[in-house]
Amino acid sequence: MTTTLGKYTLIRKLATGGMAEVFLARADGPMGFAKKCVVKRILPHFNDDPRFTEMFLGEARLAAELNHPNLVTIFDFGQHNGQYFLAMEYIDGANLRVLNQATRRQLGPMSLPLAARIIALAAEGLHFAHELRSEQGEFLNLVHRDISPDNILVARNGSVKVVDFGIAKASTQPHLTKSGMIKGKMAYMPPEQLAREPLDRRADLFALGIVFYELVTGGMPFDATSEVSIIQAIMSQKPLEKPTVYRPDCPPDLEAIVNKCLEKDREKRYASCVELQADLEAFIKRSGETVGTREISQLVETVFAHEADQTVPNAVISDPDLEGLASTNPSQKSAERIAAPSPRDVGTGSGMSSTALRSIESAAVQRSKTPLFVGIGLGVVVLAAATWFALRPGTVPVKPVVVPPVAVVIDAGPPQIADAAVALAVVTPEPDAGVEEELDAGVAVAVRPVVVKTGKLELRIRPYATVFLDDKKLGDTPLPPITVSVGKHKLRLVNPAFGKDVELNIVIKPGENIVKHNLKE
């Protein structure tokens, strides 16, 4: 049944998140007028929450000022039958992550001048946002804070647009939610954002540099397989890996541009997006290639000529919890790279681990001056407190005490994390049938590990393949690490371009399991 929201007809749902849902829609007018758009509305149970409606309204107020060809336009905010909604322009295309993956599957690495043009256009849109002033003429010092390939859209007409200013803030405002969670994608955050320092536009330049690095090399500028190792890589004094490590044909002048964006000391980065754009334009000119919206359009049309269903209008819409839109997968890795985990949004309801949060808190204090230690001290305190409350003086019935899992992370060289599935559990005596046992507060408490029945499967397939696990299709590589039950499994790798259809028998053990296979051999 067709659903309407004011003058908008909701055609199909694109995604649902923790706060809102997003629809492909049609704006209907007199005499048969109709125009496609995208509508985002607050979930019903949040409509009466003043905090969420104010956030929603704040997003609309901000977006109304962001009128630029390289920024997605939000043109309407309204309420219908108690439901608040935003309406924004429809972009027929794909986000930059999807485009990069599809290009690499079909054509190989993206042309360097073309990648530079896409980043230059995104920088132009960001510069407009960074220069935004209030009605009184004062700089708002706006910072996007969530630049990633998912938040840069590339349309079939060749336009490039930055989207998702839903968590943008001025540098003078705190960038944490009330719950103390940092919002954004951790893999794209500069050190100062992880350390909860005041932000300026150079935070977006760092994130845009990582996006550029992905376009050039197909991977991330650090080897990291967990939230904690990502934090360690970004916060440490060790420089991020240079593009030529994985893309030898990257010329020195382009590598210098990427490296300047990725400086961990923001004083050494580009001071503005317009400076970055100028260097990119100069590189494109030196390359001798003509690269503009026409060439970008041709690329999109070429790679999606037979994959029209893979283009998603407005692929990310201002909600860190949107399933299928804001979740991110690593780009295609070069042959020898360690696949990074799926860079996830962190924020309310995002599922960032407490271990990672404690790592950030530690980093905020030390800022890379000492190794990162996250010990079991907090877990011991929690266990002791839980035990005391459960077994405080007096006679109480025996009840299991639930203690949350405690992960132990020790920096003893390379980034590592102990098995987070090991939990602390209180062992209580078995009561006799029909009799409620009583336990004195002085009885000792034992600790035992919980049996781990799953493992993580990481696939490193050269050059790429469609993956089936036990006859269930998982998708095309690269894929984030997959949770799989321990035991024997059948892995099938299909690559029509090389005429390969390979079956492998694998055994999954608790912890990390890595499967490498070269389909060219």
Residue 124 lies in a domain: yes
Q: Which of 89, 121, 144 is the last residue of a domain?
A: 89
Rounded to an integer, what distance in angstroms lies between the CA atom of residue 290 and that of residue 302? 18
**Composition of the chain by helix, strand, coil, percent to 5:** 30, 25, 45
Tell me if 382 sits within 8 A of 214, measured CB to CB.
Answer: no
Q: Which of 30, 59, 89 is the last residue of a domain?
A: 89
Q: Is the pLDDT of residue 311 over 60?
A: no
Structure tokens at 444: 């000792």
The pLDDT tens digits for 163-196 are 887 665 643 344 434 444 455 688 999 999 998 8
Q: Helix (H, G, I), strand (E, B), or coil: what is residue 277?
A: helix
Q: Is the pLDDT of residue 308 over 80?
A: no
Q: Indicate the DSSP class of residue 218.
A: S
27: domain range? 3-89
405 preceded by cis ω (within 30°)?
no
Amino acid identity at 317? I
Residues 388 and 410 in one domain: yes
Residues 218 and 265 in one domain: yes
The pLDDT tens digits for 345-369 are 444 333 445 555 555 555 555 554 4
Residues 85 and 97 in one domain: no
Residue 419 sits at φ, ψ, to 5 deg, of -60, 110
Tell me if 233 sits within 8 A of 222, measured CB to CB.
Answer: yes
Highest mean pLDDT, choosing among 214-223, 274-283, 368-377? 274-283
Going from the C-alpha of 36 to that of each of 80, 300, 369, the distances in angstroms are 19, 20, 52
Rounded to an integer, what distance in angstroms lies between the CA atom of residue 218 and that of residue 208? 15
The pLDDT tens digits for 184-232 are 688 999 999 998 898 999 999 999 999 999 999 999 998 777 778 888 8
Residues 511 and 417 in one domain: no
Q: Which of 399, 431, 448 is the last residue of a domain?
A: 448
CATH number of domain containing 77:
3.30.200.20
* Nearest residue to 342 (alpha-carbon basis) of 323, 319, 318, 363: 323
Out of 28, 49, 76, 146, the active site residue is: 146
- Establish whether 146 is a catalytic residue: yes
Residues 103 and 79 in one domain: no
Rounded to an integer, what distance in angstroms lies between the CA atom of residue 222 and that of residue 262? 11
Threshold 0.75, pTM exceeds: no
Residue 289 sits at φ, ψ, to 5 deg, of -95, 145
The pLDDT tens digits for 56-80 are 787 778 777 889 999 998 888 888 8
E strand or H helix at 76:
strand 74-80
Tell me the pLDDT band of 322, cut-offs 50, 70 and 90: very low
Residue 214 lies in a domain: yes
Structure tokens at 265: 């000391």
Residue 363 lies in a domain: no
Residues 413 and 332 in one domain: no
Residue 200 sits at φ, ψ, to 5 deg, of -135, -175
Residue 360 lies in a domain: no
Residues 314 and 394 in one domain: no
The total number of structural domains that make up the chain: 4
